[in-house]
Structure 1
């Protein structure tokens, strides 16, 4: 790249390169997941026919709701009904795998070449962070679009009295909340993964990130990152902890910022190739 290019121009070119280089691998990795995701949606919709409302709001809610606090279930004598939200974890984990795999492989295979071209490794790091955010946004946008289309195609307005909390939120608001919470959480976790992967193997960084998600299910602290993509633990579905979408946005932004800085400091001091 030309030396007279500004830092912003270099980063823009690197992001474009990442988008171009990752496009085919991203598509191939997403095809099997899209198949599983569509199948899960279809099976859920079929299971609800006849006694449950099938619409966008109900379908999105049930696919992405996660789980309640265990203490809430205990207080309601429903603790025996606790089920670990496996599909919630899968949705969160798969995009981390896709993003992490591309970043790791590209840095190993092309990192030295790109570094020679741009001169500063921090440009590569920043471009990877931006690319990861773009990929995550596209990922959740596409998943929600699939769910909305399938729900509309199978619409069934069977009357059923829903909970008071459920009725407090509209379809568009729910979709927006799901998109924001899942995207922001994944972007924050991707920053954690990237920073860790400069110090430990990518596989271990991935496993640590998954553990962070999984342990969040069993605790009530807002400092566990996975909490921030569990819909049932946010207002208006749960008021005991008064956990709002704004709380999650603020926490994930702070988390992302901290680990972005940590990763930045690590990468300029470490020979990662």
Structure 2
């Protein structure tokens, strides 16, 4: 475990140093997303908690209605994909020659990158919640839910489902970036997100990562989140092993002329 801790500490410092300006930009975009949601809120909806729920709940196209683009929901995930970007693939390409002989096992390096991605998701949603609460306090007459803990629980479930989907998409983009180019991996992941918006299927993460499609929304029973938990656990584990497989098959040594 000690090599993983050392690598993770390196990723924590090095990764956020390299992505510092991206995080600043992400903060600005999140402010704009929340401001837009407040500006376009439903008449009479003045509670900040439910404004955040509306941003994170996703989209479920109704039968016979015109399709719309869930811009807020998409922007939340796209900004995160931009933030983590090419860090892992670039670190592999630039520093793999020096790091891999020292850690000996590529799995340790890859586990550190997974932990860094998880931490990035936590910080990202923490930033979103902070932005949402501050702007709601400043611009809305009320932020706390009238129904007490019920609406607060709804927000936490929305954050949990959305962050799990964000993590899955982040890992997907990272694995693809080790295999293909960074730009291609970004657009493939973006295509998956767009498909999730308009196609409802038990095989797609959108059915599990969108609160609006979750049975919990009607029952308010936390046990109804079990399917989502299993789906994201299996999917993230599969991507973890897929990433390890890709890394083992790649040569970090420079090719001879």
Pairwise same-fold verdict (TM > 0.5): yes
User: Can you give the 5+ residue segments of structure 1 that lack an aligned partner in the other structure?
Assistant: 1-7, 158-166
Aligned alpha-carbon RMSD (Å): 2.6
2:138 and 2:226 mapped to 1: Cα distance?
Answer: 33
User: Can you give the 5+ residue segments of structure 2 that lack an aligned partner in the other structure?
Assistant: none
Structure 1 residues 123, 236: closer, same or farther in 2, change over 3 A?
closer
Query: Which structure 1 residue ranges, 4+ long, deviate > 6 Å from structure 2?
Result: none
Residues 1:95 and 2:56 are matched in the alignment: no
2:24 and 2:121 mapped to 1: Cα distance?
Answer: 16
Q: How does 1:126-141 map to 2 (within 5 A)?
A: 126-141=111-126
Q: What TM-score comes out, normalization by structure 1 length?
A: 0.81
Residues 1:199 and 2:192 are matched in the alignment: no
Residues 1:258 and 2:238 are matched in the alignment: yes
Q: What TM-score comes out, normalization by structure 2 length?
A: 0.86
C-alpha deviation, 1:131, in angstroms: 0.8
The correspondence for 1:209, drawn from 177, 186, 189, is 189
* Residue in structure 2 matched with residue 52 of structure 1 by the alignment: 44
* Residue in structure 2 matched with residue 219 of structure 1 by the alignment: 199
C-alpha deviation, 1:133, in angstroms: 0.8
1:101 and 1:142 mapped to 2: Cα distance?
Answer: 21
Query: Which shows bigger deviation, 226-235 or 135-144?
Result: 226-235
* Residue in structure 2 matched with residue 249 of structure 1 by the alignment: 229
C-alpha deviation, 1:48, in angstroms: 4.2
Residues 1:152 and 2:137 are matched in the alignment: yes
For these two proteins, the number of residue pairs brought into alignment is: 248
Q: Is the 8 A contact 1:141 1:179 kept in 2?
A: no
Q: Is the 8 A contact 2:27 2:127 kept in 1?
A: no
2:225 and 2:32 mapped to 1: Cα distance?
Answer: 29
C-alpha deviation, 1:46, in angstroms: 3.9
